[in-house]
Every structure is written in C-alpha cells, then in structure tokens.
Amino acid sequence: MKAALRLIPGAWLALLVAAPLVLVAIMALSWQAEGVPPYSPPWAGEGINPDNLRLLAEDPHYRDALAQSLVVAALTAGFCLLIATPMGLAIARAGRGRNALLGAVLLPFWTGFLIRIGAWIGLLRDEGWINSVLRALGWIDQPLPLLYSNGAMLLGMVHAYLPFAVLPVFAAATRLDPVLEQAAADLGATPGRAFLTITLPQLLPALAAAFLLVFIPAAGEYVIPELLGPADATLVGRVLFQEFFQNRDWPVASALAVALLALLLGPIVLFQRLGRSA
C-alpha cells in the first residue's frame, strides 16, 4: 500500500513530465526529415545535429525572439508589480472586507483568460468600444489603431497576470507588523518615508517572488501576443508554434524550448529559493 502510493504517481510523473522533457532535448539534437513524424533521431545514422541550437545563437530571427520575450516578460512583470504592490497592501489592511476583495482579484483568474483577452479585443478594435466613445465625443475622426500593437499586447499580458502578482504581496503584507510603521511615524517620518524605509524593505522578498511568478510564464506566452500583438511581434512562444506547426521543423521548435528553459533556469531556481525562505 505504502509502496503503491509512491510508485503510481511517481511512475505517472516520470512518464508524463520527465520523459517528455528528455524527448525535447533529444529532438533538439535531431534532424528535420521528410515523413511522419518529420524528423530523424541522432541514432538513425546521421549522428547528433548541433545546427539547431547553433542556429538559435546565430540567426537574428531566433536570437531576437528570445531576447524580445525576456524584455516583454520583464515589462509585464514590472507593470504588474507597480499595480499589485499597493493592491496587495491595501487588501491586507482592509479588515473585514479582506476576503471579498481578495475574491474580486482572484475571480478573473478563474474566469478564463481567453474571455478577458476577448474583452480587450472588443474594447481596442477599430470599431471597438474605445474608438466609438472617442468618436462620439468628437475627439477623433479616424479610429486609432489600438489593437494588434505592442501596447495592446502588454496591456493584455498585465491584465492576465496581475492576480498572480497580487497574491504574494498580499500574503507578505498580512505578516507585516503595523507597529513598526507607527513607530517610524512617531519618530517623525512622513507616511511616504515610513513606507519607503520600513514597509518596502520588508516586502522585498515577496516583491521578487511576485515578479518571477509573472516573469516565468510570461516569457513563453503564446496566446496573448497572437491575439493582441502586432503580426510581426516575434516572441519565442509564437516562433516555436510557427516552427512546429507551419514549418514542421520539430528539431528547431525543440531547440527553442531548450533555449527558453535554459534562459529561465536562473529565475526558476531563484523563485524556488524565495519560496522556501518565505
């Protein structure tokens, strides 16, 4: 019984989590080939193929996609943090309304993010809500090209990931000792100074965790750039999809996955350290 409890989930996870990752690594070293499935593995005679990973480092198309993804993820996480920090603090101090407010932050997370992206499409389109309101006000003659832009993409990403950032800030803020801030105020610190010198330093580990909790998934985001971003926004998630589904180049798609994981390894390890110490 005891052994079965360990073995069954262990075997499941080994087969469906560990083995697939090994296959991605092998595929990244394989050759694209005609046929179904469209590749030939290193042991089929041609040996290990180092070109896929080399291509990512040398071809600006892939290199830029990886770099841009990290920039977009960092911007998303930064904006999320800017909005989430006061939200998490205020909700932690809300007293009786705390649970309802936290629910209001989390409910969008449960409502499905496609719906929220759909809402932004409806708002930002040329014939969308914002453009019709601006036109009705007489402020514009031609619709502003809001949708399919970097701004729309970033807006959608921040909107989708914001609840992830609020949670760690909220959890840390509930553990803050209000007496410290009060003591600072009694000693003559202005509220702003008390916040910057007392509250903020105590929140730093949670802020770092919140940043990474957004940054890591955002770096591989595919759906939001596809639906809200400009057609030429080459982010790694999108390029991976293109290579896999359109070009049927499974080895290059896998090499992109390996590169993305390698780039995220540092942030992931850091995040887990922060989680353990919290």
Partner 1 sequence: MTPRWLRVAMWAGLAFLWLPVGLLVAYAFSADPVPFHWGGFSTRWFTALAANTRLLEAAWLSLRVAAGAATLAVLLGGATGWVLARHGPFAGRAALGALAGAPLILPEVVTGLSLLLLFVALEGATGWPEGRGALTVLLAHATLGTAYAAVVIQSRLASRDRELEEAARDLGAGPATAFATVTLPLMAPSLAAAWLLAFTLSLDDVVLASFVSGPAGTTLPVALFSMLRLGMTPEVNALATLLLAAAGVTLAAVGWLLRPRD
Binding residues for partner 1 restricted to 3-32, rule: CB under 8 A:
5-6, 8-10, 12-21, 23-24, 27
Q: Please tell me whether residue 196 binds partner 1 under the rule CB under 8 A.
A: no
Residues 219-258 that bind partner 1 (CB under 8 A): 219-220, 222-223, 226-227, 236-237, 240-241, 244, 250, 253-254, 257
* Among positions 67, 74, 75, 119, the unique one binding partner 1 when judged by CB under 8 A: 119
Q: How many residues of this chain bind partner 1 (CB under 8 A)?
A: 85
Which one-letter DSSP state was computed for residue 111? T
User: Which one of the spans 52-60, 102-110, 137-145, 203-211 is the region binding partner 1 (CB under 8 A)?
Assistant: 102-110
* Among positions 31, 62, 120, 164, the unique one binding partner 1 when judged by CB under 8 A: 120
Residues 133-172 that bind partner 1 (CB under 8 A): 159, 162-163, 166
User: Which one of the spans 43-51, 55-63, 104-112, 200-208 is the region binding partner 1 (CB under 8 A)?
Assistant: 104-112
x/- binding map, residues 33-62, to partner 1, per CB under 8 A? Answer: ----x-------------------------
Question: What contacts 116, CB < 8 A, 6 or more positions away?
Answer: 108, 156, 159, 160
Residue number, 142 or 231, with CB nearest to partner 1: 231
C-beta separation of 237 from 222 below 8 A: yes
Q: Please tell me whether residue 125 binds partner 1 under the rule CB under 8 A.
A: yes
Question: What contacts 205, CB < 8 A, 6 or more positions away?
Answer: 172, 274, 277, 278
Q: Please tell me whether residue 261 binds partner 1 under the rule CB under 8 A.
A: yes
Question: What contacts 134, CB < 8 A, 6 or more positions away?
Answer: 140, 144
* Among positions 47, 50, 78, 118, the unique one binding partner 1 when judged by CB under 8 A: 118
Q: Please tell me whether residue 76 binds partner 1 under the rule CB under 8 A.
A: no
Kindly state the smallest distance separating residue 46's Cβ from partner 1, in Å. 18
Per DSSP, helices labelled H in 29-127 are: 51-58, 60-92, 98-110, 113-124
SS3 content of the chain, % helix, strand, coil (to 5): 75, 0, 20
| Nearest of 43, 33, 29, 69 to residue 249 by alpha carbon | 33
Q: How far apart are CA 88 and CA 163, in angstroms?
A: 10
Q: How far apart are CA 237 and CA 128, in angstroms?
A: 27
Residue number, 99 or 204, with CB nearest to partner 1: 99
